[in-house]
């Protein structure tokens, strides 16, 4: 059993430099992100006839990345098998559609309401089942997403439009600028991805995030050190659902038409696959998994039906030979402070076994600091029989 990362401080690199995890320098990350955001400019400069198609594919990958990052909080950080994440996505999208079409709210103004609605729905459905583990929770979440899909198809309260869904959702505007083109949505979606990465990175390094990881490793031990596992699990569920609701708003604004078929069980399976394939708990892995699961099938569309067979076979082979995922999270190394270092008047392990301030121990061998030599042997010139004084002074 490993020590709780929620009790001790943040990870401290230990060991030789060659054993420490390598990190990409920040300037390289900034340069790579800037080049990626300039892709629409490069496509336009190159005059590519299929540039809109490429941008639409990247927009789809970006939306899936936001959803997968939100699921990573539930599945990757906390270890809860949630196969119904598309339900929260649907709640956010339909909240935006109803507020925009029936009440005239601007699309971007519906973001907080969509997140709040998805979070409240998650708290309502997850509260009674949060104690379940493993495949039991998995089966219940599958039931949740199917119940939501059936409810939307049956036109609940006359708001969802039945099987035809809702259409005619307005385009979002930002300070008077109307977002209509694929390149406009490219910046909106991928800046949202960058914000998601930053916030979830901060969450992962926080005390709450470290407690979630400890719950994932050993919930019994987490309870033993005072972590309220039920409350932390419920909070993780709600946080992931809120962010999925935000993604639902972006989806509704981009597509302008939503229907129950867009939020079926297969969407939840794809999100679950992305997190497991890339590396559960790893943001790098989630991004890589999103590009592989959502991007590669579009590139290999010329293979038609056989592309799904090839993709499925590749997933099976990968899970056999690398079950931890393509880019699993880096192991965290924690520096444990010896319990005697914080005692008053003690110099720490660096000055002796139980370091002191110059006074010898009971046997004259545990003194620290400047009194070590005298405490061990005493001063023969002062002691008649040459024996050491118990206090570190010759008799």
pLDDT digits (tens, 9 = 90+) for 77-104: 999 999 999 999 999 999 999 999 999 9
pLDDT score of 50 more than 70: yes
Share of the chain above pLDDT 70, in %: 75
Band (344; pLDDT cuts 50, 70, 90): low
List own/partner pairs for 319-326 with CB under 8 A and 24 or more apart. Answer: 319/276, 319/277, 324/279, 325/276, 325/277, 325/278, 325/279, 325/280, 325/282, 325/285, 325/289, 326/277, 326/278, 326/279, 326/285, 326/288, 326/289, 326/292
Q: What is the mean pLDDT of the chain?
A: 80
Mean pLDDT of all residues in 290-312 = 74
| Residue 121: both structure tokens together | 């729905």
Mean pLDDT of all residues in 333-362 = 51
Residue 338 pLDDT: 59
Q: What are phi and psi of 176, to 5 degrees?
A: 85, -10
Residue 27 pLDDT: 73
Higher pLDDT, 200 or 12: 200
Band (343; pLDDT cuts 50, 70, 90): low
Residue 302 pLDDT: 64
Lowest mean pLDDT among 85-89, 125-129, 270-274, 355-359: 355-359
Residue 74 pLDDT: 95
pLDDT score of 352 more than 70: no
List pLDDT tens digits, range 217-242: 999 999 999 999 999 999 999 999 99
Residue 345 pLDDT: 55
Question: How far is Cα 393 from Cα 391, in angstroms, rounded to an integer?
Answer: 6
Share of the chain above pLDDT 90, in %: 49
Higher pLDDT, 368 or 296: 296
Band (395; pLDDT cuts 50, 70, 90): very low
Question: How far is Cα 293 from Cα 281, in angstroms, rounded to an integer?
Answer: 17
Question: How far is Cα 253 from Cα 3, in angstroms, rounded to an integer?
Answer: 46
Please give the full DSSP string across 40-87, using - where no structure is assigned: HHHHHHHT-TTHHHHHHHHHHHHHHHHHHHHHHIIIIIT------HHH
Band (308; pLDDT cuts 50, 70, 90): low
pTM: 0.78
Lowest mean pLDDT among 134-143, 151-160, 361-370: 361-370
Residue 34 pLDDT: 80
């Amino acid at each position: 059993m490993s020590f709780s990362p929620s009790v001790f401080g943040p990870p401290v690199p230990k060991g030789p430099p060659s054993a420490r995890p390598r990190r990409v320098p920040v300037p390289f990350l900034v340069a790579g992100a800037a080049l990626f955001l300039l892709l629409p400019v490069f496509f336009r400069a190159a005059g590519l006839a299929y540039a809109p198609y490429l941008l639409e594919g990247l927009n789809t990958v970006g939306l899936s990345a936001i959803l997968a990052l939100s699921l990573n909080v539930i599945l990757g950080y906390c270890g809860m098998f949630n196969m119904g994440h598309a339900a929260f996505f649907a709640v956010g999208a339909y909240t935006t559609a109803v507020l925009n079409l029936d009440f005239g709210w601007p699309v971007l103004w519906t973001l907080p309401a969509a997140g709040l609605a998805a979070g409240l729905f998650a708290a309502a459905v997850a509260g009674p089942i949060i104690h379940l583990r493993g495949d039991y929770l998995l089966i219940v979440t599958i039931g949740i997403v199917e119940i939501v899909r059936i409810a939307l198809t049956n036109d609940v309260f006359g708001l969802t439009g039945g099987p035809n869904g809702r259409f005619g959702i307005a385009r979002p505007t930002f300070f008077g600028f109307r977002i209509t083109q694929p390149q406009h949505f490219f910046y909106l979606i991928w800046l949202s991805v960058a914000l998601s990465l930053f916030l979830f990175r901060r969450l992962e390094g926080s005390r709450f995030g470290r407690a979630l990881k400890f719950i994932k490793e050993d919930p019994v031990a987490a309870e033993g050190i005072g972590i309220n596992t039920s409350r932390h699990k419920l909070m993780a569920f709600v946080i992931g659902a809120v962010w999925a609701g935000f993604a639902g708003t972006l989806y509704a604004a981009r597509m302008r038409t939503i229907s129950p078929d867009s939020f079926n069980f297969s969407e939840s399976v794809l999100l679950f696959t992305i997190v497991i394939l890339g590396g559960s708990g790893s943001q790098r892995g989630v991004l890589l998994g999103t590009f592989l699961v959502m991007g590669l099938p579009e590139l290999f569309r010329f293979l038609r039906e056989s592309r799904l067979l090839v993709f499925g076979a590749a997933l099976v082979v990968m899970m056999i030979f690398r079950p931890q995922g393509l880019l699993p999270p880096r192991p965290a190394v924690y520096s444990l402070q010896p319990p005697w270092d914080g005692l008053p008047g003690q110099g720490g392990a660096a000055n002796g076994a139980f370091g002191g301030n110059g006074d010898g121990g009971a046997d004259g061998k545990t003194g620290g600091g400047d009194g070590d030599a005298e405490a061990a042997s005493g001063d023969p010139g002062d002691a008649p029989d040459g024996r050491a004084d118990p206090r570190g002074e010759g008799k």
